[in-house]
Structure 1
Amino acid sequence: MSYRLGVDVGGTFTDVLLLEETTGTTYRAKTPSTPADQSVGVLNGVTKVCEEAGIELAAVGQVLHGTTVATNAILQGRGARVGLVTTDGFRQVLQIARSFVPGGLAGWIIWPKPEPLAKLEHTIEVVGRIAADGSEVTPLDEEQARSALRGLAEADIEAVTISLINSYANDAHERQVAAWAAEELPGIPVSISSHVLPEMREYERTLTTVANSYVQPEVSRPSSSATSSATTDVVTAHTNSPSS
């Protein structure tokens, strides 16, 4: 028989659902979450539900993982100080967004726009341009990019997002800037939009990648008694591994 297992890590409890794919039989388990090291609560729940089903861990063919920890970090404002790297001319991508204002006439007057997770003063531009077909229009300016990245270092940035125009079609520029960031901001995690959400639309791709950077301290905080740590739910490029 084949089994699939789903895990949902919440702030208080970790819920586990085990599905036997042939018959549709399900087994459930709930265990306390362990914020100091989320993997402990997950493993406790997995062990408990497998014992209830009478199967070995090796019988599980697929594990699906979700968590509200990242959502809570955003809602409570407990994220990292994020530095955003954009293509020259796109510095206000998060502020402009899609210029959508809800409501009818004069709705914009009373609508408080949410504060971007990466502040404008922590957003820099790099010279260089990729076309929509993935071809290079303007090469990167290394001296200018490194100088801008050093400015983020002086601002005590805790995480960096790199989101360049049309990087979904060609991620070469983002990977190169990530390599420079690894040298200019050693030890600072870097999220690359072409890895996190390689799709069209600069605002959505940038917003998603900034959110990934913002929650990293909360979801990857290691336990003092453990050497391992949890990882984010999306693919992240760290400064010590900028290449794809």
Structure 2
Amino acid sequence: MGYRLGVDVGGTFTDLLLFDTASSTFWRHKTPSTPHDSSEGILNGVSAICEKAGITPGDIDYFLHGTTVATNAVLEGKGARVGLVTTEGYRHIMQIARSFVPGGLAGWIVWPKPQPLAALEDTVTIRGRISAEGKEIRPIDDADIRTQISVLKANGVEAITVSLINAYANGAHERRVGELVAEIMPGVPVSLSHEVLPEMQEYERTLTTVANAAVRPVVGKYVSNLRSRLAEAGMNGKLSLLRSDGGLMSAEKAEEHPVNILMSGPAGGVTGAIWVGRNAGIRNILTLDVGGT
């Protein structure tokens, strides 16, 4: 006999659905969310729903979790202060972006650009260059890298993004920068663009990796705390988080690459609605997500 538990944390309520894979029996429970520490509300719900089903948390094989922790950190501006290391000549990559301005005629006049998640004063550049074919054109200089990392350390950044030009083709330079960051700033999370989003288009790759760095301390603390509290409650099942595409990723990967769960909560609802529609023979379906907040 096996049990699967789905948990979605909203701003007002935390919803739980427990499913018995052997008998197809399910139980539902709703409990107030605890914004100061979401894991507290989750554990309250886990205890209540297990009591309803007459089981213990140790009987749960899979814990599937949708969360808006990463989303809220970005929307509320509560992410970490991010330091960005990029290639010499590209210091303004976050400010220039794609120079895209929405709207019709003269739309740019009334459109205030959003504040980048990595400020210009927290952006440094290093020498060295990789070609679009992944070949080293100019080697990096450890002394130069150490100097620039020291600038970010003095600025008090809480997370580091390394996004070098053409790193998607060859991440060797980024890996070395990451090693030096770990040496100079131990304990500070480092996000490397060729690991987070190994694709061309420098701005998009940099933006995604910066967003990953911004929410990494928040999500890392949350997921680690949740895993600890579930273990204390006796749950040994696998903890997986919903990705932005409606799929699943391990808790460990979510701590490393939290940018992939930015739309975790809403994506789960859409994916579930699609599954219901497909099994009900409905080809066209409109989903609606109304939150308490």
| TM-score (normalizing by structure 1) | 0.78
| Paired letter, 1:154 | A
Matched with 2:276 is none
Q: Name the CA distance, whole Å, in 2 between partners of 1:149 and 1:29.
A: 49
Higher helix share: 2
Matched with 1:160 is 160
Cα distance, 1:164 vs structure 2? 1.9
Judge conservation of contact 2:220–2:256 (CA < 8 Å) in 1.
Answer: no
Matched with 1:102 is 102
Cα distance, 1:146 vs structure 2? 0.9
Cα distance, 1:20 vs structure 2? 5.7
- Residue 182 of structure 1 aligns to a residue whose secondary structure is helix
Cα distance, 1:108 vs structure 2? 0.8
Between stretches 137-146 and 161-170, larger displacement belongs to: 161-170
1:57-206 matches, cutoff 5 A? 57=57, 60-206=60-206
Alpha carbons of 1:11 and 1:174: their partners in 2 closer, same or farther (altered >3 Å)? farther
Q: 1:235 aligns with which of 246, 252, 256?
A: 256
- Residue 169 of structure 1 aligns to a residue whose secondary structure is coil
Aligned residues: 235
Judge conservation of contact 1:9–1:15 (CA < 8 Å) in 2.
Answer: yes
| Paired letter, 2:256 | V
Judge conservation of contact 1:219–1:232 (CA < 8 Å) in 2.
Answer: no
Matched with 1:242 is none
Q: Name the CA distance, whole Å, in 2 between partners of 1:220 and 1:73.
A: 12
Judge conservation of contact 1:168–1:198 (CA < 8 Å) in 2.
Answer: yes
Q: Name the CA distance, whole Å, in 1 between partners of 2:194 and 2:100.
A: 25
For residues 26-51 of structure 1, the C-alpha deviation after alignment (integer angstroms, 9 at most, x for no partner) is: 54322333445433333333444444
Between stretches 63-72 and 228-237, larger displacement belongs to: 228-237
Cα distance, 1:58 vs structure 2? 5.8
Q: Name the CA distance, whole Å, in 1 between partners of 2:25 and 2:137.
A: 56
For residues 166-202 of structure 1, the C-alpha deviation after alignment (integer angstroms, 9 at most, x for no partner) is: 3333322222111101122233222222333333322
For residues 191-224 of structure 1, the C-alpha deviation after alignment (integer angstroms, 9 at most, x for no partner) is: 22233333332222222221222224433457xx
Q: Name the CA distance, whole Å, in 2 between partners of 1:25 and 1:204.
A: 45
Q: Name the CA distance, whole Å, in 2 between partners of 1:78 and 1:232.
A: 21
Between stretches 44-53 and 103-112, larger displacement belongs to: 44-53
| Paired letter, 2:150 | R
Matched with 1:14 is 14
| TM-score (normalizing by structure 2) | 0.67
Cα distance, 1:161 vs structure 2? 1.2
Confirm or deny that 1:212 pairs with 2:233: no
Between stretches 145-154 and 46-55, larger displacement belongs to: 46-55
| Paired letter, 1:119 | A
Cα distance, 1:81 vs structure 2? 1.6
Q: Name the CA distance, whole Å, in 2 between partners of 1:3 and 1:232.
A: 23
Q: Name the CA distance, whole Å, in 2 between partners of 1:20 and 1:135.
A: 54
Structure 2, unaligned runs of 5 or more? 230-250, 259-293
Amino-acid identity (%): 59
Alpha carbons of 1:119 and 1:24: their partners in 2 closer, same or farther (altered >3 Å)? farther
Determine which structure has more spread, i.e. the larger CA radius of gyration: 2
Q: Name the CA distance, whole Å, in 2 between partners of 1:107 and 1:128.
A: 38
Q: Name the CA distance, whole Å, in 2 between partners of 1:128 and 1:197.
A: 21
Alpha carbons of 1:129 and 1:232: their partners in 2 closer, same or farther (altered >3 Å)? same
Cα distance, 1:97 vs structure 2? 1.6
Judge conservation of contact 2:193–2:209 (CA < 8 Å) in 1.
Answer: yes
Q: Name the CA distance, whole Å, in 1 between partners of 2:168 and 2:14.
A: 35
For residues 2-33 of structure 1, the C-alpha deviation after alignment (integer angstroms, 9 at most, x for no partner) is: 65443323344322334566887654322333
Alpha carbons of 1:178 and 1:52: their partners in 2 closer, same or farther (altered >3 Å)? same
Q: Name the CA distance, whole Å, in 2 between partners of 1:29 and 1:203.
A: 43
